[in-house]
A and B are shown apart, each in its own frame.
Chain A
Amino acid sequence: MGSEIRNLWLQWLAQLEQVASGFLQPLSATHPLVILPLNIMGFWLALKIYRRTGTPILHPVVGGSLLVFAGLLLLGVDFTGYQQGSGLLYLLLGPAVVALAIPLKQNLVMVRRAGWPLMLGLLVGAVLAPLVAVVIALLLGGSHTVLVALATKSVTTPVALALTEQMNGIHSLAAGVVAFTGIVGAVFGPSLMRLLGIHDERVTGFTLGINAHAIGTVRALEISALCGAFSALAMGLCGALTALLLPVLTSA
């Protein structure tokens, strides 16, 4: 056990060193001082556009990635170079997953108040959401790569990326699937709820959180604070539950 921790520590230091050495390279199009501002500008502009228009289709995940992609084409940078330049952001992925514990802790009171119906719904929903998608893709003859990417479709991106690493999937495909799923859920979810005759905002929020993670939660917050809180709670719990269940299910 001691040697494993030592290995982890060395791995972490090596990663840090790689990021630091990236900054010491001579200035080029793939230098972190070019790529990082490009990322920040893309994110910031996309956020502005999203706030101005307010449509889930232009969520910063979509707008930001398109803007950065356009920037990369202009600079003539390939994906490997871009990834090396973005090393600093990759380092933050782990701590970002850990940070999800804080909103979860703050909303935990509501779990106790809502009780077991929500927990049972969460368990079923967390299994159902990826299962339905994987079955459809399987029937349509999707390859193994596609099935692995769909398995994490309904969990929040940092957790999905951590799981993808575990299952040797393609990072960017998983991230794209998560974003697209969130947009489908956020765009059609609320009207679908109305169509089904569901007026309980707790149900709407919880359903959006299970199926459409952060993008659904943003949409739920527009409905009401209560709806948003239930969505945030469902998103966090669903992420944790999927992370615990999925590796067991896929290895079996």
Chain B
Amino acid sequence: MPPESKSWPGKALQWLLGAGLLLAFDFAGRALAASLSLSVPGPVLGMLLLLLALMLYGRVPYGLGMVAEQILRLLVLIFLPATVGIYFLRDLSGGDWFALIAAMVIGTLISLTLTALLLKHLIQRRARRRGDHGQ
């Protein structure tokens, strides 16, 4: 397959191919999850299958890269319907809201701190070991 088509029919064809690949892998992921009765979401399995396929193929086909970039740029729009629903929530008590907000603020600050300190420690330890080998 040519890496990039200059003419617009070629480009449109590659775009369609890319969009078809996304749909096909979404479907394959769902089919795999359903037939093996896995509890992992189908689209996530589809993503992993596509990642595997791309690693085997060696590079990202031009059309697929184009469609993926467009869809990821519109991500916020795509999940807007789910986000808007938060203003329509009525079945949570005041205590629930308090627990939720406290958990999000404090929990995120704690996990940020712990993750960062752990990563720093691991990277420094490896760097020190490498330094010892060098001497």
A residues in contact (CB < 8 Å) with B = 1, 4-5, 7-9, 12, 39-40, 42-43, 46-47, 60-61, 64-65, 68-69, 72, 78-79, 82-83, 86, 89-90, 92-106, 108, 115, 117-118, 120-121, 124-125, 128-129, 132-137, 140-143, 145-146, 149-150, 153-154, 157-159, 161-163, 165-166, 170-177, 179-181, 184-185, 188-189, 192-193, 196, 198, 200, 202-204, 206-207, 210-212, 214, 239-240, 243-244, 247-248, 251
Contact = CB atoms under 8 A, between A and B. Distances in A.
Ordered nearest first, which 8 A-B pairs have the shortest CB separation? A172-B85, A133-B107, A142-B99, A247-B39, A162-B41, A117-B122, A176-B86, A97-B43
Interface in B67-91: 67-69, 71-72, 74-89, 91
Q: What's the dominant secondary structure at chain B's contact region?
A: helix
Contacts of A149: 100
A92 B104 CA distance: 28
Interface in B24-79: 25-27, 29-31, 34-35, 38-44, 46-48, 50-51, 54-55, 60, 64-65, 67-69, 71-72, 74-79
B100 A137 contact: yes
Contact of B86 (A135, A165, A172, A244): A172
B7 interface: no
Nearest to B111: A129
B22 A184 contact: no
A154 B99 contact: no
B111 A184 contact: no
A142 B96 CA distance: 5
Contacts of B126: 115, 117
Given A102-B68, A143-B96, A157-B79, A124 B46 contact: no
A125 B114 CA distance: 8
Q: What's the dominant secondary structure at chain A's contact region?
A: helix
A65 B46 contact: no
Contacts of B82: 157, 161, 171-172, 174-175
B98 interface: yes
Contacts of A159: 41, 44
Contacts of B31: 4-5, 8
Interface of B: 19, 22-23, 25-27, 29-31, 34-35, 38-44, 46-48, 50-51, 54-55, 60, 64-65, 67-69, 71-72, 74-89, 91-93, 95-96, 98-120, 122-123, 125-126
A196 B47 contact: no
Nearest to B88: A79
Contact of B115 (A128, A179, A214): A128
A184 B118 CA distance: 20
A213 B79 CA distance: 15
Given A192-B112, A211-B111, A240-B44, A72 B100 contact: no
Contacts of B48: 101, 240
B43 A162 contact: yes
A13 to B, nearest CB: 12
22 contacts: A42-B80, A60-B76, A82-B81, A95-B43, A98-B26, A98-B29, A98-B46, A101-B51, A102-B50, A102-B60, A117-B126, A125-B114, A140-B95, A145-B96, A158-B79, A159-B41, A170-B85, A175-B79, A192-B116, A196-B116, A200-B123, A243-B40
